[in-house]
Each structure stands twice: as structure tokens, then as C-alpha cells.
Structure 1
């Protein structure tokens, strides 16, 4: 019993703290690279500016009900208004100034 407890302690201590991975940023990517990343992942959170981020999806299947998709255009390294995929929005609050 003591040996297994010691082994668990050694494994947990040697693993160390987990470092946060930086989020990928659309301004650092080429347009095709950002769009391909969203298409391959299906749904992904990307940084869009110094203090902003958004969740992008490939299609409406990645949005919770009753949300729907809206085309998402972001700044990329090579295109100022790049279509990267879609964002999910509540279909019942359309036109209320939500972006």
C-alpha cells in the first residue's frame, strides 16, 4: 500500500505544473490557413485581436440548439477580411445588435 502511494506521489510531483498553451491567432495566420484550421477542427476558439477571441465553427452542426450560423470574417496576415467559417448565434435574437 505504501509503495503504491509513493508511486502516485512521485508521478504527480514529476509531472509538474501544466503550462497554458497560447491560443492560435487569426492575425498571425494566412487566410487559407485559418479557414483550413476551422474546417478541419469543426469548432475552435481563436484569438482575433489583442484582447478578443471567438469560437468558429465549420457548420451549424457545431452550434447548440436553437443557435444558427453566421458567416465570420476576420483579419489574417494576408487578407484584411478573410472568411474563416461561421460563428453561432441565437436565431431568436437576430437584429438586436449582437455581433
Structure 2
């Protein structure tokens, strides 16, 4: 058992897609700010189908907080209708650094 597992800081990675009125409402900017506030790493970007996709990595409990935020809050003027989280998996170490908006 690693030190992270003993302290409950198991690292995970998860992909997400957010549906609804989430483009043109600063959703990516607020997602980046929230991720930095929580201390998770990853990326976010708009899709041609008017959704927002990305990936989050970090301690499992913190990633869970980010998932709740993505599912329920987002940017102040967005309207989230659905959030999907896929490919959740344990990771040995962070595979990304920082949190960035991709284009």
C-alpha cells in the first residue's frame, strides 16, 4: 500500500462531458478557476456539438468535489442539463500538470 493510499489520497483520473447551455457563458474559464482552487489538474475545451469536455486528475475526494461542481454549478449563467463522467481510473501519479483550456 502506498503512502497516498494509507492517507486516503488515492489518485484518480476521470473524463467528463457537460451538456446544456455551456458555451459562450465562460464555462471553461470558471472550470479552470475551480480546478485551480481545488488543486486538481487537467484540461477543458468546447466541442463542435456545443458541449464541454475535459479531464480531471487528483486525489479521489477532491476529484469528486470537482465532479459535483461540474454537474451542479459551472459558470453563473450556464444551464447544465446533464454531466457524464467516463474512464474513471486509479493512477499512480498525476499524468498532467496544471489545469488548462484547450482549443
Structure number with the higher helix fraction is: 1
Asked if Structure 1 and Structure 2 have the same fold, meaning a TM-score greater than 0.5 normalized by the shorter chain, the answer is no
Structure exhibiting the larger radius of gyration computed from Cα positions: 1
TM-score range relative to shorter protein? under 0.3
Q: TM-score, normalised to structure 2's length?
A: 0.27
Q: Which has the higher strand share?
A: 2
- Identify the structure with bigger relative contact order (alpha carbons < 8 Å, sequence gap 6+): 2
TM-score (norm 1): 0.27
